[in-house]
Amino acid sequence: MSYLALTDADRDAMLETIGVASLDELFADLPAGVRFDRALELPPALTELELTTYFEQLASANQRREAHVSFLGAGLYDHYVPAVVDAVLQRGELLTAYTPYQPELSQGVLQAIFEYQTAICELTGMDVSNASGYDGTTVAADACYIAKHVTGRSKVVITEATNPQVRQVVKTYAPGFGLEVAEVPHRDGATDPDELRAAAADAACAIFQQPNFFGVLEPAPELAAAAADAEALAVAHVDPLSLGVLEAPGHYGCALAIGEGQPAGNHISFGGPHYGFLAARSEFIRRMPGRIVGETTDAAGNRGYVLTLQTREQHIRREKATSNITTNQTLLALAGLVYLSWLGPQGLRDVGETCMALAEYAKERLGLPLLFSDRTTFKEFAVRVGRNAREVVREALGQGVHPGYALGRDYPGMDDVLLVAVTERRTKAEIDRLAEVLGT
Amino acid sequence: MKLIFEKSRPGRRAGRIPGPGLPAPDIPGELRRAEPPRLPEVAEPDLLRHYTELSTRNFGIDTGFYPLGSCTMKHNPRVNERLAALPGFRDLHPLEDEERTQGALRLCFELQEALAEITGLDAVSLQPAAGSQGELTGLMLMRAYFAERGEDERRRKIVIPDTAHGTNPASVTMGGYELTNVQTDPRGNIDVDDLRAKVDETTAGLMLTNPSTLGLFDENIEEISGIFHEAGALMYYDGANLNAVCGISRPGDMGFEIVHINLHKTFSQPHGGGGPGGGPITVSKRLEPFLPAPAIVRDGDGDGGGFRLDYDRPQSIGKVRGFLGPFGVFVRSYAFIRAYGPALREMSEVAVLNANYLLALLRDAYELPFDRLCMHEFVLSARRLKREHGVTALDVAKRLMDYGFHPPTIYFPLIVPEALMLEPTETEARETLDAFADALKAIAREAAEQPELLKEAPHGTPVGRLDEVKAAKRAVVRYQFEEHPDLSAEPAAAGVEAPKGA
């Protein structure tokens, strides 16, 4: 096996040092009844060359048709990932490190996380950020757990216009947390602040998405105020790439800001790995889940970084910890940091404006009836295609275009609705092609 | 070194995106961003240099020996990076038409089959993002299982040994269960008498790592299994230490019905400084209906059959993460499994050989609390150094850095005072183990002769020993621009240093 280094002579000498006659003797503690007495039924070992051939086959089976243009989003988006991101992520010292338990050997990762926390705070207008969570769904469950402990209440509210997968994950976690989940319906694609206020009356938190799953801009400041009126924590689930043009949750009174980091610096990669971000007002710092990096000094006064506030965490507090999280998504969060540094504030604004402008162009060019015609949208919008949207997708695929996500699976009564995502990677020519394929 | 924010200059930028030549969008005033975020403004050469310099201030398995117990820091084959970056995987959207995702679904399906075989169980969910999420998912499965049997109200207790990772008790709380701790006996096994007294009809299950965090295989596992099965409770296997037993002993054959696997440990997904990871779970037939949805299924047999996602799982606990899980991790780990095939057994055998060899070299220099052959890792105690020379496990760990090694896990498991937990893994050469043992022996001598050398260690790292108490007390967790405090001007904080865990 090419990943093993011991020669036969090594093995013999080592067994002798240990004082056993054979490898088998090392397993003397295993009761006979639990020993595995046959070979694992796995395909035979492959060399690197063979591995490459097989995986290339699998990968190309995903592209059986000619290369196509995609307007598919619905939570993960085809934004450009610059080469510098991949270059940094392949630095072996960062790629192959474990969690930075020993800070003197981990300043690279620790400082990167500190910078990431800063970037997330700047994006969201919050005071503190953790080192990242698993993805944009699980950070919503994390937010609920924080809110439960902060408020002592046993219900959470989430808007129906929030990403269905986020809602599903919250519902999966809720029983273990001792929480009930209530949903607030959308009215013509957006949430009514009065309805949210009423629903949040006895709730620990109210989660809404901005822009929401339909791409619609929610009256976010009013929703945050409505939650605050009900003494529930306002939690905004935001698209990081919208925050160059859209107001930051921390600036309109949210207690927590969460989101899916993929649009900022991660390849789509069939759904992961990505990072979720979770930022909060400073008063909640000791309830935050996961790792947090803090600044300090060594004895000589040199600045350095360490994992901090560890008394929140499972390896110290065990059953009283704020979360069971140990793995976060450091490498993917680092990708986000490098990406945001590559863009800078002006670049971030350019991306947001470009997506939005192209989406407006697409709306006009398609000329299909908008599901929510009175609403402002960001980079995604819902249109009625006049028949089953899944069929429309299938037909368009035959012409080399993926026209968007068929919403009927998540929202009853929307079988004829297509959710079209337009990123800065799409061109006017591609949008024209989409219009042609959809026959508009 | 400076932060990227401190290198920022107004007007600099690295990336530009094409302008579409369209009118600027109209955003209602109250929703429009008033003040731009203060992201770094840097040119690309400086951006790359900054992160390259950061990488030189970090230690990975590529840098050197990294015997961090319970973390299985083995070689990360580079071919796996290349495979995960194939455009057919990297750029694939999970909501793509299934006809266009057959290669990815096949990969997931084959990985599931491999994990089921390795763990000796029947069904798999790849969804959990990490081991700890796999644990929580496992507890949710227990809850769903007992709810269906009408026993959920009374089965509230989860039994955990005192050697367990902190994630286990934390997961118990998050899963809405109550914790029952069980003791370890003098041989390092679960104390079966203590266990027998604590398991009854109110017990939902056991969470166990086997081999344990002491690196010891529980010799009474069959008896333990009998106790839980008699009580109608379920057994959960924490796969953190699966690297010890691949092809040698299978959790399913030990009586466990839920297993999580840390793909970033046993199956070599690079951990990236703390993530990504992967925590798939495998379960017995009777727990399959409760697994997270969707399931990846194959229609028909053999190569003719297609793969699809099955959302019609009425008894499922729901989703625990977006989409199918961290797919890029699946690519790397499946490639790792295919590189070994049935020789995964040899992988585990060599991991155990390396650990026992290192133990043999070190047993006289440090105390060995449980004097047995170990599995893939072992725990030493620096208690004697502390008693005789005032040198702690932390001092030993810091001094190891000066010898060019990453320290082992320290102060864990909690039942061993001044614990040093060492896991060399199978990918290390004998001469590396020899050099490391020489360093630890030299440090034991230094503890007697020059204890201050250890207490002030490390000496050769980019920063010296850092003041963790000050970090926690001041809680400076982001750059504050003009208001950023100068912590070097503040005196050292008093107090005990925070212990480290795995």
CATH number of the domain encompassing residue B371: 3.90.1150.10
> Mean pLDDT, to the nearest integer, of A328-354?
98
Instruction: State the Cα–Cα distance between residues B444 and B386, nearest whole angstrom.
Output: 11
- Give percent of chain B above pLDDT 90: 95
- Indicate left, alpha or beta for A88 from its phi (over 0: left) and psi (-120 to 50: alpha): alpha
Q: How many domains does chain B have?
A: 4
Considering the domain architecture, whether residues B287 and B422 belong to the same structural domain is answered as: no
Asked whether the predicted pLDDT for residue B502 surpasses 50, the reply is no
Task: From residue A359, give the alpha-carbon distance in Å to each of A212, B15, B30, B93, B96.
Answer: 15, 22, 21, 20, 20
Q: Which of B71, B320, B465 sits opposite A298 (nearest CB)?
A: B465
Rg (CA), chain A: 25
User: To which residue do tokens 């081999």 refer?
Assistant: B211
pLDDT in tens, A311-332: 888 888 888 888 998 889 999 9
B249 and A34 within 8 Å at the Cβ level: the answer is yes
Please give the share of chain A, as a percent, with pLDDT higher than 70.
99
In a domain, B71, yes or no: no
- What CATH number should be reported for the domain holding residue B152? 3.40.640.10
Model confidence band, residue A67 (pLDDT cutoffs 50, 70, 90): low
H or E element in which residue B24 lies:
none
B63-102, pLDDT tens digit by residue?
A: 999 999 999 999 999 999 999 999 999 999 999 999 889 9
Domain residue spans of chain A: 69-81+344-437, 83-337
Q: B89 vs A63, which has greater pLDDT?
A: B89
Q: Are residues B183 and B267 both part of a single domain?
A: yes
> Do residues B335 and B353 both lie within one domain?
no
Is the Cβ pair A52, B42 closer than 8 Å? no
- The sheet that has B203-208: what strands, in order across it? B123-125, B281-283, B258-261, B234-239, B203-208, B157-161, B178-182
Q: A256: closest CA among A403, A131, A142, A178? A: A142
Assess whether B472 and B395 both reside in one domain.
no
Domain that residue B49 falls in: 1-15+38-57
The answer on B278 and B129 residing in a single domain is: yes
**Do both B169 and B191 map to the same domain?**
yes
The dotted CATH code for A83-337 is: 3.40.640.10
Domain end among B320, B342, B364? B342
Whether residues B350 and B251 fall in one domain = no
Interchain contact, A5 vs B427, CB within 8 Å: yes
Q: Are residues B335 and B444 in the same domain?
A: no
Could you tell me if residue B22 is inside a domain?
no
Quick check: B249 and A104 CB within 8 A? no
Q: How many CB atoms are located within 10 Å of the residue B487 CB?
A: 18
- Tell me how far apart the alpha carbons of residues A369 and A357 are, in angstroms, rounded to a whole number: 18
Which pLDDT does position A40 carry in this prediction?
98
Residue B200 Cα, gap to closest chain A Cα (Å)? 21
| Contact residues for B363 (Cβ-Cβ < 8 A; gap 6+) | none
Are residues B290 and B374 part of one domain?
no
Task: Pick the closest to residue A417 from A377, A389, A381 (CA basis).
Answer: A389
Token pair of B165 as six digits: 């990772």
Q: Cα–Cα–Cα angle for A164, A414, A168, nearest 5°?
A: 15
Q: Which of B27, B100, B471 sits opposite A376 (nearest CB)?
A: B27
B497 pLDDT exceeds 60? no
Q: Render the burial of A127-162: b for 16+ CB within 10 Å, e for the rest.
A: bbbbbbbbbbbbbbbbbbbbbbebbebebbbbbbbb
- Does residue B201 fall inside a structural domain? yes
Judge whether residue B152 has pLDDT over 50.
yes
Summarize the confidence of residues A219-237 as an average pLDDT. 98
Enumerate the residues of chain A whose CB falls inside 8 A of the CB of residue B463.
Answer: 103-104, 107, 298, 302-304
Q: Which H or E element spans position B323?
A: none
Same structural domain for residues B159 and B197?
yes
Residues B179 and B275 in one domain: yes
Q: Which of A246, A318, A329, A330 is the best substitution to test chain B (most B C-beta atoms within 10 A)? A: A318
**Do A69-81+344-437 and A83-337 fold alike per CATH?**
no
- Which range, of A40-49, B92-101, B336-345, B377-386, averages the lowest pLDDT? B92-101
Asked if residue B132 lies in contact with residue A309, where contact means CB atoms within 8 angstroms, the answer is no
Look at residues B168, B159, B179 and name the one whose alpha carbon lies nearest to residue B227: B159
Tell whether A117 is within 8 A of chain B (Cβ).
yes
User: Nearest CA to CA, how far is B449 from chain A (Å)?
Assistant: 23
Same domain, B184 and B305: yes
At B496 the pLDDT is 47
Q: Do B273 and A34 touch (CB under 8 A)?
A: no
User: What's residue B495's pLDDT?
Assistant: 53
Domain C-terminal end among B277, B308, B342:
B342
pLDDT score, position A316? 86
Residue B68 in any domain: the answer is no
Which chain B residues are closer than 8 Å to A288 by Cβ?
Answer: none
From 3.90.1150.10, 3.40.190.10, 3.50.50.100, 3.40.50.1820, which CATH number describes the A69-81+344-437 domain?
3.90.1150.10
Residue B142 domain-assigned?
A: yes
Band of pLDDT at residue A64, cut at 50, 70 and 90 = low
Edge-to-edge strand ranges of the sheet holding A155-159:
A128-129, A276-280, A256-260, A233-238, A205-210, A155-159, A180-184
For chain B, what percent of residues have pLDDT higher than 70? 97
Lowest mean pLDDT among A312-326, B161-175, B330-344, B407-421: A312-326
| Residue of chain B whose alpha carbon sits nearest to that of A66 | B100
- Residues 318-357 in A contacting B (C-alpha not used; CB under 8 Å): 318-321, 323-334, 337-338, 340-351, 353-354, 356-357
Which residue among B342, B357, B378 closes a domain? B342
Mean pLDDT for chain B? 96
- Report how far Cα A117 is from the mean position of its chain's Cα atoms: 15
Percent of chain A with pLDDT over 90: 93
Has residue B7 been placed in a domain? Answer: yes
